[in-house]
Amino acid sequence: MAEDRQTTLSPFSMRFTPEERAWLDRVAAGIPVAAFIRSLIFDEYLLKKRRKPRKSPVKDHQVLARLQAELGQSRLASNLNQLAKAANSGSLEVSPDTEKALQNACSDVRWMRHMLIEAFGLEPGDPP
């Protein structure tokens, strides 16, 4: 009886500078680097076929840190909460200044949403 033998895969080794390796790790975004390189060489289908990455889904840690710093320095959440309370109690007088403040707050929230989408490597139309 012939034994069923699994064909062995031959390894291939490459050397990278620290900068090249850091770039590969960053661009692979949590996917094993070997699978990422294989997909670049052969087919993007391999990326979809692989299991989900084990690392954090964050694409850009610097962008996320910047966003956290901005949120920490702003009083946006507190100010929006005060505006919501005033609106709910009926005591919010909508003056041109109030309208401008609300528009600025909405603009800030849109900016934060954009930065979070970018940091997590998503597209604007992706589901949450």
Domain ranges of the chain: 16-54, 56-128
Whether the model pTM is above 0.85: no
* Residue in this structure with the two tokens 């990326």, named with its chain if needed: 47
Pairwise CA distance, residues 103 & 84, whole Å? 14
Pairwise CA distance, residues 18 & 123, whole Å? 30
**Which one, of 29, 47, 30, lies nearest residue 38 by Cα?**
47
Written as six digits, the tokens of 116 are 């979070």
Instruction: Inform me whether the pLDDT recorded for 112 exceeds 60.
Output: yes
**Which one, of 58, 30, 32, 26, lies nearest residue 46 by Cα?**
32
**Which one, of 11, 60, 62, 56, lies nearest residue 37 by Cα?**
11
Per-residue pLDDT of 4-21, as tens digits, reads 566 787 888 889 899 888
Per-residue pLDDT of 41-74, as tens digits, reads 776 554 555 555 545 556 667 777 777 777 767 7
Pairwise CA distance, residues 60 & 72, whole Å? 19
Per-residue pLDDT of 94-104, as tens digits, reads 788 877 877 88
Pairwise CA distance, residues 27 & 33, whole Å? 9
